[in-house]
Amino acid sequence: MGELGFHWQSLLVYLVNFTILLVFLYLLAYKPILRVLDQRSLRIKDSLEQAERVQKEAAERQAAFELQLTEARRANQAQFEEAQKRIAQYEREQKERADKLVGEELTKARSEIQRERDLAIDEVRAHFGELAITAAERIVRRSLDAPAHREVIDQVLQEGGAMGGRRS
């Protein structure tokens, strides 16, 4: 094998050197490297567990927040509906009150109109009675011919118009 540049003695020396290097590395470096790798693995595992815990807590908080938000919306909706009912009730009460006041005013106005109508009718009757009496007195004092009678009626009506103007 010497022809190929391969020597058994050199190979044996290389093999012994490599074995010594492996034993030396195993005793001095392998255990500390494994310990560092184990520590790093534990830190990564702890970090992942902590991230999962934080994520779980965030999800729980989000769910609690959504629940509170839903409850708040329901409460607001209930308050809104209650307010709408109160507004509708208030509007009904105000309309009933206004209708009642309008009815009372209308009844009062009709009563006042009827009273004034009755007074006006009574006044016209009294005035007409006075006119009739006055006309009758003048007719009796004068002759009963048609033109004189017509003249007395016109005169009484004119005086009645003048009296009616004074009374108003």
Six-digit token pair at 63?
């769910």
- pLDDT of res. 128: 76
Displacement of CA 142 from its chain's centroid (Å): 87
- pLDDT of res. 161: 67
Q: Cα(first)–Cα(last) distance of the chain, in Å?
A: 160
- pLDDT of res. 17: 95
Task: Give the integer Cα–Cα distance in Å for 135 and 128.
Answer: 10
- pLDDT of res. 45: 96
Full-prediction pTM beyond 0.95?
no
- pLDDT of res. 168: 47
pLDDT along the chain (168 residues), means of 10: 70 93 85 89 96 96 96 96 96 95 94 93 80 74 66 76 57
Q: Any idea which residue has 């044996």 for tokens?
A: 12
